[in-house]
Chains A and B, each alone.
Chain A
Amino acid sequence: MASGIDRDTLNALPCGCLILARDGHVLFANRALSAILAVNPSITTVEGKHFSEILTRGSAIFYETHFLPSLLLRGSLEEIAFDLLCGDHVRQPVLINAVVRDTDILLAVFGAKQRRLYEAELLRARRESEQVAEIVRKSSDAIIRFSAEGLIESWNNGAQQIFGYQIHERRGLRFDCLFAPEALDDVRAGISNLPCGVDFVLDTKGLRASGERVDLSISLTPHMEAPGILVAFSAIIRDITARKLTELALIQNEKLASVGRLASSIAHEINNPLEAVTNLLYILASNITDPKQKELVDTAQEELARVSHIATHTLRFHKQSTGRAAVDLRPVLETVLGLYRARLANAGVETIVECKAGLTLTCYEGELRQILVNLVGNAFDAMRSGGRLRVRAHEVYPTSPTGRRVHIIIGDTGTGMSPDVLSRLFEPFFSTKGIGGTGLGLWITKDLVNKNHGQIRVRSSVSPERSGTAVMLSFNDGQTAE
């Protein structure tokens, strides 16, 4: 027992007090310590135990590896957190001050339950805010904080991606530096309303580090403090280049559709006069005896038949079939090729159609036509200097339970496509046709094929002797539920 210490005084101390031998054995524990440990000092005594025995395991390891070596070196330590193991196996957080003397170690022990709860709460709050910060940091949208004066204060990875600057290159600069000069008036107008506490959303043009313009959607939020003072504002900015392109394509598509509708109504309107002229020519033909005149009328009748054919079969193209139906493939293939017949003939392309009479496929007829027109059009574009176009349709009965399938193969001996092009074939806006192509043909085609329970596969070769492309459409015919 440590000498020269008045036990009563130690017992009266308003904090836990422990005296340890240098090897860690408890020589003395005062009443306040027993209270902290929730043990009755007259029944249980901690004296004689090793100090690490009244610590949780983590605290014991910490005591042996950190605390004791450091204490022996320094002579004293303050406010070190430990968890004591109470009589009832509950852990009691404490703070310990320690001092080393010649033969023993004195510890002052303070309960720290409330403080530790508070610390745990702070830690939890910090982790939560770190999680939110992580989301902000990693967002692909730019999230930027501006001072009330409009100076850039901080931004995230998304902002760096969109604008191409590191934050340190832009911090402290005005928002102006992020927008195209022509867009600045609108942005300024929106920002000037922020002090009223009004959010602001705008599609505008941004300016990258490279000087490039970029389509942006910006949403500005004011941060207000009482009494109604703007202290900062934040911007969430999205790069909408892709969306703009899609919008353009949609507009283009709508234009085409309206042309289609117009054509359809024209076709309808000219049908009646056409019929009248056909009848009139027929009457005229039966009244003519002069062979020379008869030949002219015959020719007129033939040409008129072509006009009638075009009107009924092509101008009504866009007319959407209302439901899936069994479509006779051969006439469809022939009308589609009919559209290109003159052009194919002029380019010196030999056309072969192989399709059993009466072969049907259950699908949306209009969409099937659109698919075929696209693919035949592509084949034609690849064979501007002649070649052979082969369109083959046949049915397949695989052993699998999926049932009957119909394959349509469109093969050309054109220029073919490199693996590079092939790999991007179905990307929207990808085109090899320069100004003439939208880059949407095959993208839409694939979509339509899928919608009609089919798959599309493309093989292509650019090797000089045997270049060309074969597109295979494989449709699951029919009975599948919509």
Chain B
Amino acid sequence: MTPVTALHRNNVKILGNGAQTIMFAHGYGCDQSMWRHVYPAFLENYKVVLFDYVGSGGSDITAFSTSRYSSLRGYALDVLDIIEELDLKELHFVGHSVSSMIGALASIDSPDRFKTLTMIGPSPCYINAGDYEGGMERADVESLLETLESNHVAWSATMAPVIMGNPEAPELAGELEASFCRMDPFLANHFARVTFLSDNRADLPKVKTRTLVLQCQRDVIAGTSVGKYVHEWLPNSQLVMMNATGHCPHMSAPQEVIKELRKFLS
């Protein structure tokens, strides 16, 4: 029996062939395909690593374990497994949304593996707690779970592989587009709880890696005050307020993300 590798488990794709490596980590609700407008810009000078968290996209959902993935640390372990298997060093880690904190946890664990962290729309804690304004209440998370349940069937239908007919699809990553934002409904519910109910504020000061925080305008998931909070508590970070709006600038305004990322990495 072949041992389960992280490369298989997390549907890892390795593209490009630069000396340095960028790893793009998707956020909650989507998969690696959300980077399709961003990663091609880096193929020339970097090795690009894309992957899916267990339960998302083309990951091996049989590898799911409620206890391993009961906190973001379990997802961070997956990131470290991939780094280990590919023996990546001086890694530039780009995480969207919840992946920002997953990357932070991984970098705290193995700081020597990480050269930089880039956090797009990060939040260490989505729920309001005392003076801290995460922007959500617990009831909002319950409401999200309800919406997920209502979309159980429709979303499963959305999972069906898409026959390529999208004129803007770059043919760079082959089968990548086969599963836009595929998510097992049960695991989506699980990942939603882990994502939105986690509180990793205490971990921010432990991050030693140089970090870029990209904050959009009018992000309803992780608002500007949250982005500033992250910047304040990270020992070595810079905050860039972008012109892009919403929670997914790498999809709605990829050029601006590419520009900021290049500036930070150079």
Task: Known A70-B30, A73-B180, A74-B162; judge A65-B147 contact (CB<8 A).
Answer: no
Once the chains bind, are B143 and A65 in contact (CB under 8 Å)?
no
Once the chains bind, are A73 and B36 in contact (CB under 8 Å)?
yes
The yes or no answer to B17 lying at the interface (CB within 8 A) is no
A128 to B183, CA, bound (A): 27
Once the chains bind, are B151 and A81 in contact (CB under 8 Å)?
yes
Number of A residues with CB within 8 Å of any CB on chain B:
34
Task: Known A58-B145, A60-B220, A81-B147; judge A66-B181 contact (CB<8 A).
Answer: yes
**What is the CB-to-nearest-CB distance from B81 to chain A, in angstroms, rounded to a whole number?**
25
Per the 8 Å Cβ criterion, residues 213-264 of B in contact with A are 218-221, 244-248, 251-252
The yes or no answer to A230 lying at the interface (CB within 8 A) is no
The yes or no answer to A14 lying at the interface (CB within 8 A) is no
A270 to B137, CA, bound (A): 90
Identify which of B137, B149, B247 contacts A64 (C-beta below 8 A): B247
Task: Provide the residues of chain B in CB contact with A82, threshold 8 Å.
Answer: 147
The yes or no answer to A347 lying at the interface (CB within 8 A) is no
Once the chains bind, are B221 and A79 in contact (CB under 8 Å)?
no
Once the chains bind, are A81 and B181 in contact (CB under 8 Å)?
no
Once the chains bind, are B27 and A24 in contact (CB under 8 Å)?
no
A429 to B248, CA, bound (A): 71
Task: Provide the residues of chain A in CB contact with B29, threshold 8 Å.
Answer: 62, 64-66, 69
The yes or no answer to B91 lying at the interface (CB within 8 A) is no
The yes or no answer to A249 lying at the interface (CB within 8 A) is no
The yes or no answer to A264 lying at the interface (CB within 8 A) is no
Number of B residues with CB within 8 Å of any CB on chain A:
45
Once the chains bind, are A83 and B147 in contact (CB under 8 Å)?
yes
Identify which of B144, B180, B220, B252 contacts A52 (C-beta below 8 A): B220
**What is the CB-to-nearest-CB distance from A78 to chain B, in angstroms, rounded to a whole number?**
7
Task: Provide the residues of chain A in CB contact with B197, threshold 8 Å.
Answer: none
Once the chains bind, are A22 and B180 in contact (CB under 8 Å)?
no
**What is the CB-to-nearest-CB distance from A182 to chain B, in angstroms, rounded to a whole number?**
48
Once the chains bind, are B148 and A57 in contact (CB under 8 Å)?
no
Task: Provide the residues of chain B in CB contact with A75, threshold 8 Å.
Answer: 166
Task: Provide the residues of chain A in CB contact with B146, threshold 8 Å.
Answer: 58
Per the 8 Å Cβ criterion, residues 29-70 of A in contact with B are 50, 52, 56-62, 64-66, 68-70
Per the 8 Å Cβ criterion, residues 116-152 of B in contact with A are 136-137, 139-151
Task: Known A50-B218, A58-B140; judge A69-B248 contact (CB<8 A).
Answer: yes
Once the chains bind, are B221 and A65 in contact (CB under 8 Å)?
yes
Task: Provide the residues of chain A in CB contact with B28, threshold 8 Å.
Answer: 65
Task: Provide the residues of chain A in CB contact with B79, threshold 8 Å.
Answer: none
A70 to B252, CA, bound (A): 12
The yes or no answer to B11 lying at the interface (CB within 8 A) is no
Once the chains bind, are B143 and A59 in contact (CB under 8 Å)?
yes
Task: Provide the residues of chain A in CB contact with B150, threshold 8 Å.
Answer: 81, 93, 116, 119
Once the chains bind, are B147 and A70 in contact (CB under 8 Å)?
no
The yes or no answer to B155 lying at the interface (CB within 8 A) is yes
Once the chains bind, are A62 and B97 in contact (CB under 8 Å)?
no
**CB nearest neighbor in B for A81:** B150
Task: Provide the residues of chain A in CB contact with B196, threshold 8 Å.
Answer: 61
Once the chains bind, are B158 and A77 in contact (CB under 8 Å)?
yes
A60 to B221, CA, bound (A): 8
The yes or no answer to A198 lying at the interface (CB within 8 A) is no
The yes or no answer to B104 lying at the interface (CB within 8 A) is no
A56 to B139, CA, bound (A): 11
Task: Provide the residues of chain A in CB contact with B247, threshold 8 Å.
Answer: 64-65, 68
Once the chains bind, are A62 and B34 in contact (CB under 8 Å)?
no
Task: Known A65-B221, A74-B162; judge A58-B251 contact (CB<8 A).
Answer: no
Once the chains bind, are B151 and A65 in contact (CB under 8 Å)?
no
Once the chains bind, are B154 and A56 in contact (CB under 8 Å)?
no
Identify which of A22, A50, A74, A83 contacts B166 (C-beta below 8 A): A74
**What is the CB-to-nearest-CB distance from A62 to chain B, in angstroms, rounded to a whole number?**
4
Task: Provide the residues of chain A in CB contact with B158, threshold 8 Å.
Answer: 70, 74, 77, 80
**CB nearest neighbor in B for A116:** B150
Task: Provide the residues of chain A in CB contact with B149, threshold 8 Å.
Answer: 123
Once the chains bind, are B245 and A70 in contact (CB under 8 Å)?
no
**What is the CB-to-nearest-CB distance from B199 to chain A, in angstroms, rounded to a whole number?**
17
**What is the CB-to-nearest-CB distance from A301 to chain B, in angstroms, rounded to a whole number?**
86
Once the chains bind, are A65 and B97 in contact (CB under 8 Å)?
yes
Task: Provide the residues of chain B in CB contact with A95, threshold 8 Å.
Answer: 154
Once the chains bind, are A61 and B251 in contact (CB under 8 Å)?
no
A433 to B81, CA, bound (A): 62
**CB nearest neighbor in A for B139:** A57
Once the chains bind, are A73 and B34 in contact (CB under 8 Å)?
yes
Task: Provide the residues of chain B in CB contact with A269, threshold 8 Å.
Answer: none
Contact pattern, B 8-36, Cβ under 8 Å of A = 1, otherwise 0: 00000000000000000001111001101
**What is the CB-to-nearest-CB distance from B138 to chain A, in angstroms, rounded to a whole number?**
11
21 A–B contact pairs at CB < 8 A? A58-B140, A58-B143, A58-B144, A58-B146, A59-B144, A61-B140, A61-B220, A62-B144, A64-B246, A65-B29, A65-B30, A65-B97, A65-B247, A66-B29, A69-B29, A69-B30, A69-B34, A70-B180, A72-B251, A73-B34, A74-B158
Question: B residues within 8 Å of A by Cβ?
Answer: 27-30, 33-34, 36, 97, 136-137, 139-151, 154-155, 157-158, 162, 166, 177, 180-181, 183, 196, 218-221, 244-248, 251-252
Sample of 11 more A-B contacts, CB < 8 Å, known A61-B144, A62-B29, A80-B151: A57-B137, A57-B140, A61-B221, A65-B29, A65-B97, A66-B181, A69-B181, A72-B252, A73-B251, A78-B154, A83-B147
Question: A residues within 8 Å of B by Cβ?
Answer: 22-24, 50, 52, 56-62, 64-66, 68-70, 72-75, 77-83, 93, 95, 116, 119, 123
